[in-house]
Amino acid sequence: MGRFGVGQPARRGEDRRLITGAGRYSDDFDLPGQAHAVFLRSPHAHAAIKAIDTAQAATLPGVLAVITAADVAEIGDLPCRADIANADGTPMVKPPRPVLARGRARHVGEAVAMVIAETRAIARDGAEAIVVDYDPLPAVADTAAARAGDAAQVWEQAPGNVCLRWAMGDAEAAERAFAEAAQVSEIELVNNRIVVNPMEPRAALASHDAETDRSTIYTATQGAHRLRRDLSEVLGIPVERLRVITPEVGGSFGMKIFLYPEQVLALWAAKRLGRPIKWLAERGESFVSDSQGRDHVTHAALALDAEGRILAVKADIVANLGAYLSPFGPAIPTTLNAPMLPGAYRVPVVRATVTGVFTNTVPVDAYRGAGRPEAAYVIERLIDVAARDLGLDPVTLRRRNFVTAAEMPHTTVTGMTYDNGDFPAATEVALERAGWDDFPARRAAARARGRWRGIGMSYYIERCAGIGGEGVRVTVGGDGAVTAFVGTQTGGQGHATAFAQLIGERLGVDFEAITVVQGDTDRVADGDGTGGSRTLVMAGSALVGATDKIVATAKVEAGRLLEAAVADIEFADGVLRIAGTDRSVTLIQVAAALPDGLDESARHDAEAPTYPNGCHVCEVEIDPETGVVSVIGYTVVDDFGAVVNPRLVAGQVHGGIVQGLGQAIFERCVYDPESGQLLTASFMDYCLPRADDLPSIDFSRVFTPCVSNPLDVKGCGEAGAIGAPPAAINAIVDALAHLGVRHVDMPATPEAVWRLIRGVAA
């Protein structure tokens, strides 16, 4: 298929539409007679709600309804899907999460009331006219302080603010390994909280058809069917009476997987009022109502023998879950994080404990990588700290402990089976491309210019696509149109292009003739959505099955048309031919000969997770007068298995690295420790990296196949965000090591680095 085939860097077919403003996002849809919703949100992190006076708001001209918790008693609570058992087998504390604050507000930004009016402006005026009698209560926002004896209690049923105490690994074996170790290196880490900032804010447009008793919602999601199932449960509506339409999505990063109160209330109100209801988040709302990411405080330790070989890893993690449990929140620091602590190394013993705590902050859940970046950060910082403690080059220590290609498949002590990979080989390629051996000369040249230069590496491995499956449907019409119905959801990754390349090559049809349908529960039969770098592994593999079925069916029909045995029919490049002759028909001609064209479905269920991996090398310079960190060079070598479109993969890697560097250097989410107020609640205070903050990224790939799916693919969507933070911090510490600096917490802002240089406490 030339430049549009699998493995070719085809340009995204959807880009012209999107960059010329012809894309349609949730807010671009309007329905006749629609009203507008605005939410009144708590200004307090913790407060009893003694009374809500809605009288003045309800009488404003144009206000249609003012809704509080008392009005929505029939609506169920938002679900938490991650039931994590405590180490002693008892269940975690699982408090209710209402769609509107019920009796008490537990974080700044929690929705207290909903105002529906003829226009957004009137609805906003109505929200401002509501009088809430709050009784402010003590609040706790700091992760490490949440367990203190004098900390404010978020939930009565969670003494000490503890939601869960989870453990993994052999505690006695860990103690023996540390007792016998020749070297023990320890470190305290803060994995800083992240405010998720997709370009497109959350939005919802809901309507109800009284004649059919069906409701429809247009809203940005990472999987329309998953959201429909959650809405059905919370609203008590059969799924067949709900339609979820997800049009273009302007970025997700994990945050748009979940069901939010605004989506539930928009649907509920549309049926109650008999009018479509539209809501669009302002950016300030997003800062205090979208799920946030990361937020761990970890004490970690590494035990090594006299030769520098790892004996054991211990990690004691305190994970901030926020005021409520988001759907996957408790799973992120536990089952998604701790099993990946061995990283790319031979680690005989791992002992991890996780204490999940409630605080008066926005709920925390999946953010690009979801647990794997946190695990990679722990092990990669430990390796660097241990190398410095031993007086070894950090590369040398990694080489001594890498799992080698000869040891594959390798099952870690935590139960992860790496099917394939060559970690030492990828490292050598990355080091050569980054000029690692020549770094001392660059450091000296920087010092002559009054700058301190540092270099750091990390090696990440992540677990992807190991749960569930995806079904797809592919149709070929006699007019040449090919349509794929897929239950995953693009959020800007270029799914339509990758799927078209895959289908085009397998069926020999024109790339431009292929349409990919996603994000409509009436048009797509089912799906589990996008997340965990699962899309190509699951949906792509299912497309292989569906296209194979189409070819098999086409051979039968071609045999009838050509009056030949099916066994004699060959298929290649869209043509079915009697072997050894020039008699043939095209796939499109076969489709035209069938009453309904060619129409096949297939499903791929996960056999095992995939394990993308790679080496990151970051080079920085620090201005000792200001503490400003500049990223001078960045090199990454990834093993993603087979690649459908290298251009799309490079885009995913670049974007992930930028987000990882954003966490490491720029993005600082700050809550006031006493009041619980979010102090970085806008882009005036919360710093995102910009193009001129970053160098050109040197990206290349090595290849080992993945054996768990027919495409040999491993997934690439989260990789950059996993490898970048430890590489950047390792480089920054290297630049400051001559001062005796052993660790720098993320984000390494100019202020934080300036204070370190001058020995000034924060």
Q: Residue 49: phi, psi to the nearest 5?
A: -100, 105
Residue 1 has pLDDT above 90, yes or no: no
Residue type, 31: L
Q: Measure the CA angle with vertex 428, ends 422 and 431; round to 5°.
A: 140
- Which class in CATH covers the domain with range 416-462+611-762? alpha beta
pTM above 0.85, yes or no: yes
What does the pLDDT look like over 684-719, one tens digit per residue?
A: 999 999 999 999 999 999 999 998 999 999 999 999
Domain 153-195+292-392 indexed as CATH 3.10.450.100? no
Query: pLDDT above 70 covers what percent of the chain?
Result: 99
Tens digits of residue pLDDT in 436-481: 999 999 999 999 999 999 999 999 999 998 788 999 999 999 999 9
Mean pLDDT on 391-420? 97
Q: How high does pLDDT run on average in the chain? A: 97
The Cα 201–Cα 203 span in angstroms is 6
DSSP string for residues in 380-441: HHHHHHHHHHHT--HHHHHHHHBPPGGG-SEE-TTS-EE----HHHHHHHHHHHHTGGGHHH
pLDDT computed for residue 45 by the predictor: 98
Rounded Cα distance between 751 and 626, Å, is 8
Delimit the CATH 3.30.365.10 region(s) of the chain. 153-195+292-392, 416-462+611-762, 466-605
Q: For the residues 57-65, what does the mean pLDDT come to?
A: 98
What's the rounded Cα separation, in Å, for the pair 39 and 60? 16
Taking Cα atoms as reference points, which of 579, 582, 573 lies closest to residue 510? Answer: 573
CA distances from 118 to 122, 179, 572 (A): 7, 70, 59
Q: Mean of the pLDDT values across residues 401-430?
A: 98
Handedness of CA 57, 63, 69, 73 (dihedral sign): positive
| DSSP code, position 144 | G
Joined tokens for residue 759 = 């020995």
In the chain, ranges of CATH 3.90.1170.50 domains: 26-137+197-289
Residue 2 has pLDDT above 60, yes or no: no
pLDDT at 638: 98
CA atoms within 13 A on the CB side of 279: 30
pLDDT tier at 761, thresholds 50, 70, 90:
low
Residue 3 pLDDT class (50, 70, 90 cuts):
low
> To which H or E segment does residue 497 belong?
helix 495-507
Q: How far apart are the first and last CA of the chain?
A: 59
Task: Give φ, ψ of 257 to 5 degrees.
Answer: -70, -30
Q: Convert the pLDDT of each residue in 231-277 to its tens digit.
A: 999 999 999 999 999 999 999 999 999 999 999 999 999 999 999 99
Residue-wise pLDDT tens digits, 103-146: 999 999 999 999 999 999 999 999 999 999 999 999 999 999 99
Render 86-100 in DSSP notation, one character per residue. PTTSPBPP-----SS
Alpha helix ranges (H) inside 280-365? 283-289
- Topology of domain 26-137+197-289, per CATH? Aldehyde Oxidoreductase; domain 3 (3.90.1170)
- Note the pLDDT tens digit of each residue in 267-307: 999 999 999 999 999 999 999 999 999 999 999 999 999 99
Using CA atoms, how far apart are residues 500 and 498, in angstroms rounded to an integer? 5
Q: Which CATH architecture has domain 466-605?
A: 2-Layer Sandwich (3.30)
